Structure 1
Amino acid sequence: MGGSVRKACPCLERLWERICGDKSDPGTGNVSDEGRDGEVQEPAAAPRPAAAAEGSMIYTALWLFDSRHPDELSFREGDLFKVLVREGDWWEAQKIQQNGRVLETGIVPRNYLARGESVDGQLWFFGTMDRLQAQKHLMSPDNQNGAFLVRLSVKDGLGYVLSVKSEDRVKHFKVVQSECWFYVELEDRFSSLIDLVEHYQEHDLCTGDRLGEPCGRREPQPPDLSHITAIDWELPKEEFTLKEQLGSGYFAEVYRGLWKGRINVAIKIIKNDSELNHAEFHREVEILKGLRHRHLISLFAICTASAPYYIITELMEKGNLLNFLRGPEGAGLDLTSLVDMATQVADGMSYLEEQKSIHRDLAARNVLVGENYICKVADFGLARIVKEPFYITADTKIPYKWCAPEAISHGKFSIKSDVWSFGILLYEIVTHGAMPYPAHSNQEVYRQVSRGYRMPAPPNCPNLLYDIMMQCWSNDPEERPNFSKLWRQLSLSRYNLV
């Protein structure tokens, strides 16, 4: 009976608590700076309120976007949209005024929009994120004291967490959500998360902290050069301008470039493309275009009408992970930041694992680094087509030090041989880019590893990280962990390193 009355009359919630007491009182000041993930284990959060019907939703632009095709709409931050067709990464939408009057209709990138009056549309809402990721965002020098964000905890059922920059640290407050209320402190309850945030921008939290400006966030990149290249990615070379060279290897030279004189891209020019199976190359590119993940490099386009072939990808400003680790910026990173980079790589590889895709050449040189130390796996999928014909004619170029024994002896590449390579990559990360097996030649490495030799733990490497390396280097491929497990292990290890 009591439960029915409370459900029917939520406005009597406070009165009911005075009469009967609150059986689930979490106490006040749900703040925690320490612990497994820095969050208090409160009663499980109630499900998020059901959203309005999709057709009635109004979306808000979070960033400025300049159209790249006549069918696309340009817009500014705050512009309103009614979405007509939700399909893939590009939506058809109407730009509207506050009164609903339609201004124009066209194509827009969906990652630039959020539901208007919902939590998703707030600049301070960062979606699902763990404590360490929140700290990395908030401790950026661009954020002032009081900068904050709201996130959904990665822990099932824990719900929303308010993370606030407080001098030289970040504090995390569990937001309790009942059927009708959101609150951090029991005496101050709000009907929405937006109301809660606005209240604490005007009033202090129990710790004396007050919310300032939302945490700065980086503008996303459109998932393609334009909505047209999402389905037609063969482009003429004339649309691209080569700038400075970024790198050169056995298989390709990489340049910074511009598409149509305005969009930054990376242009990989393949050497020895006469060795390629052209039909296979195009089939593989079609598969790769469908692989989308936050820790995989986006393939934008190819130019194959004439030699040499171009592969067009997103540009990562800090270059490849190996050179970054060996440079002054990488050398200054602490172990927690390094492990975070390894965790990102494991996350991207876990997605490839789910998609039944194999990398075949996973190494620090094939991971790219962007702003805020975002890491993305590159060169996946094309290793078999672009690199292996060259390996056949130039055996000395085979990356023995990264290859699993079965890949060298029998040509057996699998996601488990990628796991072996990930163990070597983890060694590279922990040592700030040291060469694996420094005292051995390529051929010596294969002989020694086949006899059971494994690299010793690097200096100052925690046991838990070396244990992960050794799991990756199990002689039996089936005994090696999968990438999903590696991602979980590394995610947990970051908390133990703080």
Structure 2
Amino acid sequence: MVGYIKMSHLPKRFVSLWDFTAEAPEELSFKAGDVFEVLDRSEDWWYVQKLKWDRKGKAEMGYVPYNFLAEEGTVEEQAWFFGEMSRTEAASLLMEDGNNNGSFLIRASDKHEILYVLSVRHQDSLRHFKIMRNAAGQFHLNNTSFFPDLYQLVESYCKKPICPGLTLTKPCVKNEPVVSDLSPVPLDEWERPREEFTLLRRLGKGNFGQVHEGLWKGKQKVAIKIINRDVTSQDLFVKETAFLKTLHHKNLLSLYAVCSVSDPYYIVTELVPRGDLLNYLQDSEEDELDVEGQLDIATQVTEGMRYLESQNCIHRDLAARNVLMGRNNICKIADFGMARVILDSYYVSASMKIPFKWTAPEALEYGLYTVKSDVWSFGILLHEIMSRGMQPYPALLNYEMLEFLKGGQRMKAPPKCSTRVYDIMLMCWALNPNQRPSFDDLKTMLENLSNYEGSEVTTIH
């Protein structure tokens, strides 16, 4: 729950943190500091009334992007509060130009024992402090100084060192958020005319087609995946992708629309500018992506997969090449070309397009896919992350995989990988699917490996 500073009642008004210019009649322009009453909170666009009349004495109402607003009187209004955010996202922001020694932010944590984390830039490195709360409701970083709210905690450490040689200076520069989805008003159809989209430059090629940067109605940047018609039938394609459009999670690529009336098919998604995780891993240096950053990326993937599991959806092609790196290192699970909705606990496929080295033995042998086969693939992905993009089983050919795995053999640990992280991989690679952990279990295991200043968690060497 969001912490409140000093309020005698639950606030119901929202304040805009940035300017916004409307691009459609149903949208509402506003300036930073404008105050609103929210009338409808559907999806990513909220319908609001501005609590300030226009020159004609009329109430201004319309749709606004929800992530431009903060509830009045809460910590969300503070320049230093960044909401729920991953460790690598915080690091990426704090290391940007405009921030310096002592620049800081507070981010919400969804870990059971931690409400908030204070992330601080210390020269060219980052330090992260758990903000705990005692039974009396007081916030603290240690057992010597206690504060009634986050505001007073921040004020105190702006005046005195948080640790030797480090005092909070100014909040991290906060970037304007990205407006999500194509339109605030639900489009009449999930199927869109191909003429609404313009192809620009080619971004890459995957197992199921090419991906281009494009424009929707000449204004909004999108990614367009072009799929040849022979990959799937039109009915199945529309049915499966229509369900995928209902999925909404920070760590999943947002699907906007499809064009399936003629060949080739288009899948239209949000545009993620930084490319795929595999290239990011292979191109990054150790000082740019340390062990903590690697574990944070893995944890973000478990967040997205845990959500997919809750929606009875299996991915079937989880790999570093199918995870995209968004702004500030937010991971987006992508490439739903093989994803399937499951009504029972499993899905049987006769497809010959199989990513052998990422696929669980029961899926290789019988075409049997479950959430636990995705867990197996996650173990391979975790190996990719910790090895900085090494090819799995480099000495094996595809047809040798099943015999190798059924014989009880597994990939060795990547160089410099800790025993505890490798043990998680081995759990994912249990031959019996029922013995593999859930994504919820995996998220907890990875979080327990994270290191915080002053915490009891052991640093990974």
For the superposition of Structure 1 and Structure 2, which TM-score range results when normalised by the shorter chain?
0.7 to 0.9
Given candidates 183, 198, 204, the residue that maps to 1:247 is: 204
Q: CA-to-partner distance for each residue in 1:311-338, whole Å, 9 max, x for gaps?
A: 1111111211122222356895323222
Aligned pairs for 1:182-193 within 5 A: 193=150
User: Could you tell me which of 236, 248, 259 is aligned with 2:216?
Assistant: 259
Q: Which of 60, 76, 80 lines up with 2:31 in the alignment?
A: 76
- Structure 1 residue aligned with 2:324: 368
Residue 433 (structure 2) aligned to one of 457, 477, 480: 477
User: In structure 2, what is the equivalent of residue 427 of structure 1?
Assistant: 383
* Alignment correspondent of 1:291: 247
CA distance in 2 between partners of 1:183 and 1:482 (Å): 33
Find the aligned partners of 1:161 and 1:470 in 2 and give their Cα distance: 31
Is 1:447 matched with 2:441?
no
| 1:221 matched residue in structure 2 | 178
Deviations 1:16-52 (A, max 9, x none): xxxxxxxxxxxxxxxxxxxxxxxxxxxxx99868977
User: Are residues 416 and 155 of structure 1, via their aligned partners in 2, closer, same or farther at CA, if it must alter by over 3 Å?
Assistant: closer
Deviations 1:323-379 (A, max 9, x none): 222235689532322222111111111111122210011111111112322211112
Residue in 2 aligned with 1:172?
129
Give me the whole-angstrom Cα distance separating, in 2, the residues matched to 1:287 and 1:419: 22
Letter in 2 for 1:216: V
CA contact (8 A) 2:208 2:231 kept: no
Work out whether residues 204 and 210 of structure 2, in 8 Å CA contact, stay in contact via their aligned partners in 1: yes
* Cα shift at 1:278: 2.1
* CA displacement at 1:270 relative to structure 2: 0.7
- Residue 452 of structure 1 and its aligned partner are, at CA, apart by 1.9
Match for residue 95 of structure 1?
50
Q: Could you tell me how far apart the structure 1 residues matched to 2:444 and 2:54 are?
A: 48
Correspondence for 1:348: 304
2:88–2:329: 8 Å Cα contact kept in structure 1? no
CA distance in 2 between counterparts of 1:161 and 1:59 reads 24
User: Separation in 2 of the partners of 1:316 and 1:238?
Assistant: 22
Structure 1 residues 372, 497: CA separation in 2 closer, same or farther (over 3 Å shift)?
farther
Q: Separation in 2 of the partners of 1:199 and 1:166?
A: 18
Q: Identify if the C-alpha distance between structure 1 residues 365 and 106 changes in structure 2 by more than 3 Å, giving closer, same or farther.
A: same
- Residue 473 to residue 176, structure 1, CA distance change in 2 (3 Å): closer
Describe how 1:226-241 pairs up with structure 2 within 5 A. Answer: 226-229=183-186, 232-241=189-198
Q: Deviations over 1:98-122 (max 9, x none)?
A: 9997651101122221112321222
Contact 1:288–1:381 (8 Å) recurs in 2: no
User: Higher Cα Rg: structure 1 or 2?
Assistant: 1
Residue 60 (str. 1) matches residue 23 (str. 2) = no
CA distance in 1, matches of 2:15, 2:87: 27
**Which whole-Å deviations, capped at 9, do the CAs of 1:370-392 have from their partners, x for residues lacking one?**
2322211112374459xx99974
Q: What RMSD over aligned residues (CA atoms) do the two structures have, in Å?
A: 3.6
Are the equivalent residues in 1 in contact too, given 2:4–2:149 (CA < 8 A)? no
More off after superposition, 172-181 vs 400-409: 172-181
Task: Kindly provide the CA deviation profile for residues 435-461 of structure 1, in whole angstroms up to 9, marking residues without a partner as x.
Answer: 111111100112211222211222222
1:74 partner letter: S
Check the 8 A contact 1:324/1:330 in 2, yes or no. no
Q: CA, structure 1 residues 480+183, in 2 after alignment: closer, same or farther (shift >3 Å)? A: closer
| Residue-by-residue CA offset, 1:195-230 (whole Å, 9 max, x unaligned) | 6545665x3356575433211234332331111346
Tell me which moved more, 187-196 or 353-362: 187-196
Q: Distance in 1 between matches of 2:65 and 2:322?
A: 28
Which residue matches 2:456?
Answer: none
Check 1:175–1:285 CA distance in 2 against 1; reply closer, same or farther (3 A cut): same
1:158 to partner: Cα distance: 5.2
1:417 to 373, 376, 382: 373
The amino acid that maps onto 1:234 is E
* Distance apart, 1:176 and its partner CA: 6.0
Asked if the contact 2:224–2:268 (Cα under 8 Å) also holds between the matched residues in 1, the reply is: yes
Q: Given the superposition, is the C-alpha separation of residues 99 and 57 from structure 1 closer, same or farther in structure 2, using an over 3 Å criterion?
A: farther
Letter of the structure 2 residue corresponding to residue 372 of structure 1: N
Which stretch shows the higher mean deviation, 301-310 or 95-104? 95-104
Query: Counterpart of 1:494 in 2: which secondary structure?
Result: coil
Match of 2:41 among 82, 86, 93: 86
Matched, 1:304 2:260: yes
CA distance in 2: counterparts of 1:154 and 1:276, whole angstroms: 39
- The TM-score normalised by the length of structure 1 is 0.78
Residue 239 of structure 1 and its aligned partner are, at CA, apart by: 1.9
Q: What is residue 42 of structure 1 aligned with on the other side?
A: none
Which of 300, 314, 319 is the equivalent residue of 1:358?
Answer: 314
Given candidates 406, 422, 430, the residue that maps to 1:466 is 422
Q: Is the 8 A contact 1:229 1:300 kept in 2?
A: no
| Distance in 1 of aligned mates of 2:138 and 2:53 | 29
Q: In structure 2, what is the equivalent of residue 111 of structure 1?
A: 67
**2:53 and 2:135 mapped to 1: Cα distance?**
32
| Distance in 2 between residues matched to 1:180 and 1:326, nearest whole Å | 45
**Counterpart code for 1:66:** T
Supply the distance in 2 between the matched residues of 1:163 and 1:346 (Cα, whole angstroms). 22
1:126 CA displacement: 2.3
Indicate conservation of the 8 Å contact 1:92/1:108, yes or no.
yes
TM-score norm. by structure 2 comes to 0.84
Aligned length: 446
1:87 is paired with a residue of what secondary structure? coil
Task: Note if contact 2:4-2:73 (Cα within 8 Å) is conserved in structure 1.
Answer: no
- The alpha-carbon deviation at position 480 of structure 1 amounts to 0.5
**Mapped contact 1:160–1:176 kept (Cα < 8 A):** no
Determine the structure 2 residue equivalent to 1:3: none
**Match of residue 403, structure 1, among 349, 356, 359:** 359
C-alpha displacement of 1:257:
1.1
More helix by share: 1
Q: Gapped runs of 5+ residues in structure 2?
A: 342-346, 452-458
Instruction: Report Cα offsets for 1:96-148 as digits up to 9, x if no partner.
Output: 33999765110112222111232122221123457776555434454212212
